[in-house]
Structure 1
Amino acid sequence: MLDNLPPKARRAFLLAQLEGLTYAEIAQQLGVSVSMIKQYMLRATQQCYFSLSF
């Protein structure tokens, strides 16, 4: 499901879901802003939703 995501978006999603990190912690690890993490998470969530819907 996540194969079509950019690497940072995929990593952010996995860090949140599997490691339970906060957006701030993920942003620090990936060297991006919290708002970028929010965008990554939205994109990953949409990707999962659409993968399951069709």
Structure 2
Amino acid sequence: MPSETAISEERGAKCGAPGAQSGVVDAELAELIQRWAELPEAVKAGILAMVRSGE
């Protein structure tokens, strides 16, 4: 089971995303958020396409 990382109440997203209200985010999601700015645009586009295809 993946570990979880706490997010500060002051910085957490105000949305309906799972974990947003509790302040707990999956460790893999936290890593993705942390590294997002460093990813090549093609990788970002691929990730977004996969996420959006699940809607």
TM-score, structure 2 normalization: 0.30
Q: Which has the larger radius of gyration?
A: 2
Which of the two has greater strand per residue? 2
